[in-house]
Chains A and B, each alone.
Chain A
Amino acid sequence: AQKITQTQPGMFVQEKEAVTLDCTYDTSDQSYGLFWYKQPSSGEMIFLIYQGSYDEQNATEGRYSLNFQKARKSANLVISASQLGDSAMYFCAMRAYSGAGSYQLTFGKGTKLSVIP
Chain B
Amino acid sequence: GAGVSQSPRYKVAKRGQDVALRCDPISGHVSLFWYQQALGQGPEFLTYFQNEAQLDKSGLPSDRFFAERPEGSVSTLKIQRTQQEDSAVYLCASSRRGDTREQFFGPGTRLTVL
Contacts and interface: CB of A to CB of B under 8 A. Distances in A.
A47 B100 CA distance: 13
A101 B89 CA distance: 25
Contact of B55 (A42, A102, A107): A102
Contacts of A60: none
A103 B49 CA distance: 11
Contacts of B55: 100-102
A37 B108 CA distance: 15
A102 B99 CA distance: 8
> What is the interface residue range for chain B against chain A?
20 to 34
B87 to A, nearest CB: 15
B48 A102 contact: yes
A33 B45 CA distance: 16
A43 B102 contact: no
The interface residues of chain A, by DSSP majority, are classed as strand
B81 to A, nearest CB: 26
B48 A45 contact: no
B52 to A, nearest CB: 13
Interface stretch (B21-29, B36-44, B66-74): B36-44
B19 to A, nearest CB: 18
Contact of B43 (A42, A45, A47): A45
Contacts of B110: 43
Interface string A65-109: 000000000000000000000000001010101101111111111
A93 B59 CA distance: 16
A29 interface: no
Contacts of B98: 101-103
Interface of A: 4, 33, 37, 42-47, 50, 91, 93, 95, 97-98, 100-110
Pick the 8 closest A-B CB pairs, nearest first: A107-B42, A45-B105, A102-B48, A102-B56, A100-B56, A104-B45, A101-B55, A43-B108
